């Protein structure tokens, strides 16, 4: 029995032709429908597309950057790290690597790679996910669209890419891409990524480093070399293969690059510590330009010098730590629970637990945070935040010995889990470690050029992250005896000469005040010169009595002191008013530069992202007689007194340690040693320039630094440490010749016309009665 014939068995060829025609008609219908649907979608979405202004007038979001005067970056402010670079300035190797790996037909297509689309479709049908976005499409997505994958976004991306290609040239599109693309670690664009990952400019990168960066755009989180170097290198090797395939490099270059050991920069924290200055710059820029300054690429150039700033920071830290090492043990910073030692606790368990316990404790590059693993009376085993374990012997436990005593109070005790600070004696392997404390005391330091007022170094406190308050510019403190040179300067123009005798004897004022000398001793009559060198308080008070408070207040105003912040009584002689380290530095600059007021300058200039000047500090006023604040002869005599202070007075260490005679200055210690100061300068002689520096130490909540502490013991060492570095290689300037209007009599200098004024032979001596000689006295002072 046979089966009935069917159309395709009766006439297969005819059936096949009908089937093919049916399929063709169906496909054409589908294509037509698809085309109509696509045309409708294009017609629908085209009016919704954004303007291309973002790419035609590209304004990259660049951070606010702050630099020293010699170009060292201090800080960046802003969510994005970006360094805009024109495509013509980019190394060809970097450009070619990006094109080879991201879009090898970039120079050929019109914004959409149809070959790439076909390849992606086939790959996706085969179960593999593969994108087909060109560099132009990525620019469209980066600037205008979300990253969410939807048919609508893909269509808009393609339409925008076509429009971008019509509006912009290939080089401009590549420039946009290479400056805007996110590459991990808050770095946007390849110039910023080169600095972030390698600490280098693009032009300095090797083939291996270029390939690593070129592999980041695909997935910067996954191939981040900071968090997963192995994964990043796998991606790098794929990039190298594509670079070879595209003819960018040879196989030999690729092999050498794959074998190169990469040195990844694991931190972007600036090594130059100028955080207080960076904050000053940030506040000034935001006040002037608004919060948009964080993304406009504004650059602030300060007057700081990188070497001076580093020397100042190191000097201040050494000084503060030396003081704190003499203070009683205050106990550990915290106590964390660690698993109890025993058979069930392995060394790895303890190491992991210690690392976890330190996770939330801020580390410091000098005062390293550590946790105690084992405690014994003469040794500690501690672990640092990086996992390194240290055994600290008895020599390193002097500060913390009270915490290791058998009967130590609970808040002082050092035991397993205690969080402490440790310090290495020197930055080299094997140097001994010791337990230290995070200081409670604060300090400040500022140095400036006496001729221009440009600030060369400024340290506003021991640590900005712990205390952002800027003690250089904001801390109004009593200057103590560091104010005395300005009292003595006033005396010189009111009849008192260096050889004038003043009685160093007990004194009680009408209101019962009994000032004391810091050493508690009284040495009777002495010259004004000797009195300043030895910082005799009673001499200063008697000089102020003789001159009158209004006279001295008016004269101090010539140096920049605010009379409203000074006492209107005899305590002015002892520096009981208020000043900041910056104001005091400006006052000493008048002495250092020959008698001219200068305005301290920190912000030198501000530019936009393209280098256009937005602000420039006003130029220094010329040093001519019309601008003079203090007579030249007064300055010369005052400086001769200050040179004696550093030669054989309370700051005799200055000339002895620095081994140069061109340094001048004055110590300052307030009542109960609440504030410790040293202010001084190195003079460039007749050139009327020089380097002024002021160091201060004290507690934020005023308290005594200790009965044996003084400006000479606390602030002077900081000043000397800085000056030793800042003046290295600077030849000592000879003492300037006496200026006109001075004569030398009996071994000391005085005004040539002194006898025609109201000369004071002596002050406060019993034979004088009221301490003032007759107005017509003409004899020469001893």
Choose among 170, 163, 189, 184: nearest CA to 54: 163
Alpha helices by DSSP H, 335-411: 347-358
Distance CA 130, CA 672 (A): 76
**């290198």: which residue's tokens?**
233
Rounded-to-integer distance, Cα 13 and Cα 713, Å: 111
Structure tokens, 516: 């004391």
Distance of CA 701 to the CA centre of its chain: 25
Active-site positions read: 102, 481
Element (H, E) at 730: none
Rounded to whole angstroms, the Cα distance separating 156 from 162 reads 10
Positive/negative CA dihedral, 773, 775, 779, 782: positive
* Whole-angstrom Cα Rg for the chain: 37
HSE of 613 in the Cβ direction (CA atoms, 13 Å)? Answer: 6
Task: State how far the Cα of 402 lies from the Cα of 377, in Å rounded to an integer.
Answer: 10
Query: Which residues are registered as beta bridge partners of 67?
Result: 73, 301
Per the listing, tokens 């080169």 go with: 194
DSSP 595: S
Instruction: Return the SS3 of 716.
Output: helix
Q: Please name every residue paired with 694 in a beta bridge, in sequence order, or none if there are none.
A: 446, 679
Helix H or strand E encompassing 474: helix 471-474
Q: Which of 666, 700, 709 is nearest to 443 (CA)?
A: 700
Give the number of other Cβ atoms within 10 Å of residue 107's Cβ.
10
Q: What proportions of the chain, in percent to the nearest 5, are helix, strand and coil?
A: 40, 15, 40
Structure tokens at 406: 């058998």
| Cα separation, 84 vs 67, whole angstroms | 17
The SS3 call for residue 462 is coil
Residues 6+ apart with CB under 8 A from 603: 280, 281, 284, 300, 301, 302, 303, 615, 617
How far apart are the C-alpha atoms of 692 and 589, rounded to whole Å? Answer: 6
Encoding tokens for residue 523?
């040495």
Cα(666)–Cα(649) distance, integer angstroms = 9
CA distance 70 to 306: 7
For residues 635 and 591, the answer to whether their CB atoms sit within 8 Å is yes
**Quick one: how far is CA 676 from the chain centroid?**
25
Strands (E), 215-268: none
Give the residue carrying structure tokens 């501690």. 382
Say how many C-beta atoms besides its own lie within 10 A of residue 326's C-beta.
Answer: 10
What whole-number distance in Å separates Cα of residue 541 and Cα of residue 444? 28
How far apart are alpha carbons 302 and 308 in whole angstroms?
13
Unique residue bearing structure tokens 């000479």:
712
Query: What burial class does residue 623 get, using C-beta atoms within 10 Å of its C-beta: 0-12 exposed, 13-18 middle, 19+ buried?
Result: middle
**What is the CA angle 271-275-278, rounded to 5?**
110
Query: What is the rounded distance in angstroms from the CA atom of residue 485 to the CA atom of residue 490?
Result: 9
Closest CA to 544 of 490, 498, 479: 490
């Amino acid at each position: 029995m046979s089966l009935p014939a069917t159309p395709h068995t009766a006439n297969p060829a005819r059936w096949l032709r009908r089937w093919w025609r049916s399929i063709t008609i169906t496909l054409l219908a589908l294509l037509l429908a698809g085309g109509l649907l696509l045309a409708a979608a294009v017609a629908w979405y085209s009016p919704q597309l954004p303007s291309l202004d973002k790419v035609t007038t590209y304004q990259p979001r660049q951070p606010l950057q702050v630099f020293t005067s010699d170009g060292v970056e201090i800080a960046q402010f802003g969510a994005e790290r970006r360094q805009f670079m024109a495509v013509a300035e980019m190394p060809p190797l970097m450009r070619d690597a990006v094109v080879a790996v991201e879009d090898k037909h970039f120079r050929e297509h019109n914004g959409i790679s149809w070959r790439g689309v076909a390849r992606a479709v086939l790959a996706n049908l085969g179960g593999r996910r593969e994108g087909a976005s060109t560099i132009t499409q990525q620019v469209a997505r980066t600037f205008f669209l979300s990253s969410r994958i939807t048919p609508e976004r893909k269509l808009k991306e393609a339409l925008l890419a076509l429009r971008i290609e019509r509006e912009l040239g290939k080089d401009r599109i590549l420039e946009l891409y290479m400056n805007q693309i996110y590459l991990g670690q808050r770095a946007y664009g390849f110039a910023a990524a080169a600095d972030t990952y390698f600490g280098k400019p693009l032009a300095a990168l090797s083939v291996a480093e270029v390939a690593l960066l070129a592999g980041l755009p695909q997935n910067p989180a996954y191939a981040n070399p900071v968090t997963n170097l192995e994964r990043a290198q796998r991606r790098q090797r794929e990039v190298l293969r594509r670079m070879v395939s595209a003819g960018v490099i040879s196989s030999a270059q690729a092999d050498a690059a794959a074998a190169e050991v990469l040195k990844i920069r694991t931190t972007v924290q600036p090594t130059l510590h100028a955080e207080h200055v960076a904050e000053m710059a940030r506040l000034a820029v935001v006040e002037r330009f608004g919060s948009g300054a964080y993304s406009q690429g504004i650059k602030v150039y300060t007057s700081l010098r990188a070497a001076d700033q580093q020397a100042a920071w190191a000097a201040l830290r050494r000084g503060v730590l030396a003081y704190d090492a003499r203070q009683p043990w205050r106990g550990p910073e915290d106590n964390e629970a660690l698993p109890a030692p025993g058979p069930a606790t392995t060394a790895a368990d303890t190491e992991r637990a210690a690392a976890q316990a330190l996770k939330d404790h801020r580390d410091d590059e000098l005062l390293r945070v550590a946790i105690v693993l084992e405690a014994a009376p003469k040794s500690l085993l501690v672990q640092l935040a990086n996992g390194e374990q240290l055994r600290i012997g008895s020599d390193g436990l002097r500060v913390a010995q009270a915490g290791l005593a058998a009967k130590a109070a609970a808040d002082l005790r050092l035991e397993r889990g205690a969080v402490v600070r440790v310090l290495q004696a020197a930055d080299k392997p094997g140097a001994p470690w010791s337990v230290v404390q995070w200081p409670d005391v604060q300090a400040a330091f500022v140095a400036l050029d006496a001729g221009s007022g440009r600030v060369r170094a400024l340290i506003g406190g021991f640590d900005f992250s712990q205390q952002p308050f800027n003690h250089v510019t904001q801390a109004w403190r009593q200057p103590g005896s560091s104010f005395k040179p300005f009292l003595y300067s006033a005396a010189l123009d009111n009849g008192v000469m260096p050889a004038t005798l003043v009685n160093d004897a007990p004194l009680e004022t009408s209101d019962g005040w009994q000032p004391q000398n810091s050493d508690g001793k009284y040495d009777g009559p002495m010259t004004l010169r000797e009195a300043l060198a030895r910082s005799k308080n009673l001499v200063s008070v008697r000089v102020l009595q003789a001159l009158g408070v209004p006279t001295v207040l008016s004269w101090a105003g010539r140096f920049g002191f605010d009379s409203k912040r000074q006492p209107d009584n005899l305590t002015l002689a002892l520096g009981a008013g208020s000043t900041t380290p910056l104001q005091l530095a400006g006052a000493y600059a008048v002495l250092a530069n020959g008698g001219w007021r200068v305005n301290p300058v920190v912000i030198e200039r501000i530019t936009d992202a393209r280098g256009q000047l937005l602000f420039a500090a006003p130029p220094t006023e010329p040093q001519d007689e019309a601008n003079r604040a203090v007579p030249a002869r007064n300055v010369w005599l005052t400086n001769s007194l200050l040179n004696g202070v550093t030669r054989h007075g309370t700051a005799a260490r200055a000339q002895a340690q620095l081994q140069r005679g061109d340094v001048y200055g004055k110590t300052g210690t307030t009542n109960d040693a609440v504030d410790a100061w040293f202010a001084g300068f190195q003079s460039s002689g007749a050139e009327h320039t020089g380097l002024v520096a002021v160091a201060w130490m004290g507690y934020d909540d005023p308290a005594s630094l200790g009965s044996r502490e003084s400006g000479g013991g606390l602030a002077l060492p900081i000043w000397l440490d800085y000056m030793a570095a800042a003046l290295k290689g600077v030849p000592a300037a000879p003492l300037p010749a006496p200026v006109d209007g001075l004569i030398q009599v009996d071994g000391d200098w005085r005004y040539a016309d002194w006898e025609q004024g109201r000369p004071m032979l002596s002050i406060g001596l019993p034979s004088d009665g009221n301490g003032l000689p007759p107005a017509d006295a003409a004899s020469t002072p001893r």
